[in-house]
Amino acid sequence: MEWAKQGACLGTPVEWWFPEDEAKLEPDPRHICRKCPVKADCLAWALDYERYGIWADTLAWERRIIRQNRGLKIQRLTGLDE
């Protein structure tokens, strides 16, 4: 995940990205994603591996729909050696 070191979200509180209730985002950090230089890489990662949280300006339910529309299945994360 070398790309993550260039994310616009770097340095923000982790809890912003993993809210207990996605319907009540306080604060809503997605505006940070909209100007991120690695948003495409982040979305690709999230579609492959992330069931929870906000990734690339998408909520978990939005990624489920994208996966369904593209015929994708979430992958099992086996290690982070990048």
Among left, alpha and beta (phi > 0; psi -120 to 50; other), residue 59 is: beta
pLDDT digits (tens, 9 = 90+) for 15-57: 999 998 888 888 899 999 999 999 999 999 999 999 999 999 9
Give yes or no for residue 82 having a pLDDT over 70. no
What is the pLDDT, as a whole number, of residue 73? 95
**Nearest of 68, 21, 67 to residue 48 by alpha carbon:** 67
So what's the pLDDT on residue 23?
84
Domain locations in the chain? Answer: 2-70
Torsion (CA) 62, 67, 70, 74 in degrees, nearest 10: 160
pLDDT of residue 79: 64
Confidence of residue 80 (pLDDT cuts 50, 70, 90): low
CA distance 11 to 61: 25
Q: Is 58 helix (H, G, I), strand (E, B) or coil?
A: strand
